[in-house]
Protein backbone atom coordinates (compact mmCIF):
# COMPACT_ATOMS: atom_id res chain seq x y z
CA UNK A 1 0.00 0.00 0.00
CA UNK A 2 2.03 2.94 -1.27
CA UNK A 3 -0.67 5.38 -0.15
CA UNK A 4 0.69 5.14 3.41
CA UNK A 5 4.16 6.32 2.34
CA UNK A 6 2.64 9.00 0.10
CA UNK A 7 0.54 10.28 3.00
CA UNK A 8 3.57 10.23 5.31
CA UNK A 9 5.50 12.30 2.76
CA UNK A 10 2.66 14.83 2.51
CA UNK A 11 2.39 15.18 6.29
CA UNK A 12 6.17 15.54 6.66
CA UNK A 13 6.37 18.15 3.88
CA UNK A 14 3.56 20.21 5.39
CA UNK A 15 4.91 19.91 8.95
CA UNK A 16 8.40 20.96 7.83
CA UNK A 17 6.98 24.01 6.06
CA UNK A 18 4.62 25.33 8.77
CA UNK A 19 6.88 24.92 11.78
CA UNK A 20 4.99 25.11 15.07
CA UNK A 21 1.78 26.58 13.63
CA UNK A 22 -1.28 24.36 13.97
CA UNK A 23 -2.66 23.12 10.62
CA UNK A 24 -6.44 23.19 10.21
CA UNK A 25 -6.88 22.22 6.53
CA UNK A 26 -4.72 20.41 3.97
CA UNK A 27 -5.84 20.52 0.33
CA UNK A 28 -4.49 18.00 -2.16
CA UNK A 29 -5.01 17.46 -5.87
CA UNK A 30 -4.69 13.79 -6.82
CA UNK A 31 -5.22 13.13 -10.51
CA UNK A 32 -7.45 10.21 -11.44
CA UNK A 33 -4.67 8.71 -13.57
CA UNK A 34 -2.09 8.91 -10.76
CA UNK A 35 -2.68 5.38 -9.52
CA UNK A 36 -3.23 6.70 -6.00
CA UNK A 37 -6.32 5.45 -4.17
CA UNK A 38 -7.81 8.59 -2.61
CA UNK A 39 -9.86 6.68 -0.03
CA UNK A 40 -6.65 5.05 1.23
CA UNK A 41 -4.96 8.45 1.55
CA UNK A 42 -7.97 9.69 3.52
CA UNK A 43 -7.79 6.63 5.79
CA UNK A 44 -4.04 7.04 6.39
CA UNK A 45 -4.13 10.81 6.91
CA UNK A 46 -5.43 10.88 10.48
CA UNK A 47 -3.15 8.01 11.50
CA UNK A 48 -0.03 9.63 10.07
CA UNK A 49 -0.92 13.12 11.34
CA UNK A 50 -1.33 11.91 14.93
CA UNK A 51 1.13 13.64 17.25
CA UNK A 52 2.07 16.31 14.69
CA UNK A 53 0.95 19.92 14.11
CA UNK A 54 -1.42 18.45 11.51
CA UNK A 55 -3.36 16.30 13.96
CA UNK A 56 -7.07 17.12 13.71
CA UNK A 57 -6.74 18.92 10.37
CA UNK A 58 -9.35 18.44 7.66
CA UNK A 59 -8.14 16.77 4.46
CA UNK A 60 -9.75 18.06 1.26
CA UNK A 61 -8.95 16.24 -1.99
CA UNK A 62 -9.71 17.34 -5.54
CA UNK A 63 -9.60 14.54 -8.14
CA UNK A 64 -9.13 16.07 -11.60
CA UNK A 65 -9.77 13.89 -14.62
CA UNK A 66 -7.01 13.04 -17.04
CA UNK A 67 -6.66 14.80 -20.38
CA UNK A 68 -5.19 12.97 -23.36
CA UNK A 69 -4.33 13.53 -27.01
CA UNK A 70 -4.30 10.69 -29.54
CA UNK A 71 -1.04 10.51 -31.49
CA UNK A 72 -2.80 8.77 -34.39
CA UNK A 73 -5.87 10.94 -35.04
CA UNK A 74 -5.11 14.05 -32.88
CA UNK A 75 -8.36 13.70 -30.90
CA UNK A 76 -8.30 15.28 -27.44
CA UNK A 77 -10.40 13.78 -24.69
CA UNK A 78 -10.84 13.45 -20.92
CA UNK A 79 -10.50 10.11 -19.13
CA UNK A 80 -10.92 8.69 -15.63
CA UNK A 81 -9.43 5.25 -16.26
CA UNK A 82 -5.65 4.66 -16.36
CA UNK A 83 -6.11 2.26 -19.30
CA UNK A 84 -6.50 4.78 -22.07
CA UNK A 85 -7.84 4.17 -25.56
CA UNK A 86 -8.81 6.89 -28.01
CA UNK A 87 -12.61 7.07 -28.19
CA UNK A 88 -12.46 8.19 -31.83
CA UNK A 89 -10.09 5.67 -33.44
CA UNK A 90 -9.45 3.10 -30.65
CA UNK A 91 -5.68 3.67 -30.64
CA UNK A 92 -3.68 3.08 -27.47
CA UNK A 93 -1.00 5.50 -28.71
CA UNK A 94 -2.09 8.45 -26.61
CA UNK A 95 -0.22 11.22 -24.87
CA UNK A 96 -1.47 11.72 -21.31
CA UNK A 97 -1.23 15.48 -20.80
CA UNK A 98 -2.66 15.73 -17.29
CA UNK A 99 -4.23 13.68 -14.53
CA UNK A 100 -1.16 11.92 -13.14
CA UNK A 101 -0.25 14.62 -10.66
CA UNK A 102 -0.32 14.64 -6.89
CA UNK A 103 0.09 18.12 -5.44
CA UNK A 104 -0.25 19.85 -2.13
CA UNK A 105 -2.47 22.71 -3.25
CA UNK A 106 -2.76 24.69 -0.03
CA UNK A 107 -2.60 24.54 3.74
CA UNK A 108 -4.49 26.60 6.31
CA UNK A 109 -2.88 27.28 9.66
CA UNK A 110 -3.74 29.06 12.86
CA UNK A 111 -1.35 31.11 14.89
CA UNK A 112 -1.37 31.34 18.63
CA UNK A 113 -2.67 34.67 19.83
CA UNK A 114 -1.36 36.43 22.86
CA UNK A 115 -3.40 36.02 25.99
CA UNK A 116 -5.81 38.95 26.22
CA UNK A 117 -4.90 41.54 28.80
CA UNK A 118 -7.22 41.76 31.74
CA UNK A 119 -9.97 44.28 31.17
CA UNK A 120 -9.64 47.28 33.38
CA UNK A 121 -12.17 47.46 36.13
CA UNK A 122 -13.77 50.68 37.20
CA UNK A 123 -14.10 51.42 40.86
CA UNK A 124 -17.59 52.57 41.49
CA UNK A 125 -18.33 54.22 44.73
Residue 117, φ and ψ in degrees, nearest 5: -70, 150
> CA–CA separation, 83 vs 91, rounded Å?
11
- Give the DSSP H/E element, type plus range, for residue 87: none
The pLDDT of residue 119 is above 60: no
Q: What is the mean pLDDT of the chain?
A: 91
The fold adopted by the segment(s) 2-65+99-110 is hypothetical protein PF0899 fold (3.30.2320)
Beta strands in the chain (DSSP E): 22-30, 58-62, 66-70, 76-79, 94-98, 102-110
The pLDDT of residue 115 is above 90: no
**pLDDT the model gives residue 120:** 57
pTM over 0.85: no
**pLDDT the model gives residue 89:** 96
Q: Is 62 helix (H, G, I), strand (E, B) or coil?
A: strand
The predicted-structure confidence for 41-74, as pLDDT tens digits, reads as follows: 999 999 999 999 999 999 999 999 999 999 999 9
Q: Domain boundaries in the chain?
A: 2-65+99-110
Amino acid sequence: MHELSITQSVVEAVADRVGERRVTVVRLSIGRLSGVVVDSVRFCFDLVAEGTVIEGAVLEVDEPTGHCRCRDCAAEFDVDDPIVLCPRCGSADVDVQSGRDLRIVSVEVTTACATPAAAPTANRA
